[in-house]
Amino acid sequence: MRDDLDLNFFKKSLEERLSAIRSGLEAKRVAGTPVELDQSKVGRLSRMDAMQQQAMAQATTRRNELEQERIQMALKRLESGDYGYCVKCEEEIAEARLRVDPATLVCIDCARAVEKK
């Protein structure tokens, strides 16, 4: 367990982000009604626009679901004492990097190595 980090700060930050994502996902589920395909009610271009907006909303929802999973994993690492360590090389992740993204899994060196590939 890392003694140099304010773990309460990171836990609070992760929980706030998780709460915001869950609220947003619930609101989108309520608004995610199927696109009406009845041509007598809606023109073809309007339907195409509605279908495109629906696809974009679905993609946003999927990204939010993935972010929710990342945050939940980070909270589990906090509880187990593994928070703040890179999952690849097991070195400490810089506090500045954690402040930017508290759910990050890897240190900057491992992230750069992935980007080079």
pTM, whole model, 2 decimals? 0.74
The per-residue pLDDT of the chain, averaged, comes to: 86
- Cα 49 to Cα 37: distance, rounded to the nearest angstrom: 12
Q: Homologous superfamily of 7-116 in CATH?
A: DksA, coiled-coil domain (1.20.120.910)
Which bin fits 86, alpha (ψ -120 to 50), beta or left (φ > 0)?
beta
Task: Tell me the sheet residues that pair with 85.
Answer: 92
Beta bridge partners of 92: 85
User: Given this model, what pLDDT does residue 48 score?
Assistant: 77
- CA–CA separation, 104 and 41 (whole Å): 47
Q: Can you read off the two tokens belonging to residue 19?
A: 């709460």
pLDDT, one tens digit per residue, over 87-106 is 999 999 999 999 999 999 99
Dump pLDDT digits (tens) for 65-82. Answer: 999 999 999 999 999 999
Domain boundaries, the chain: 7-116
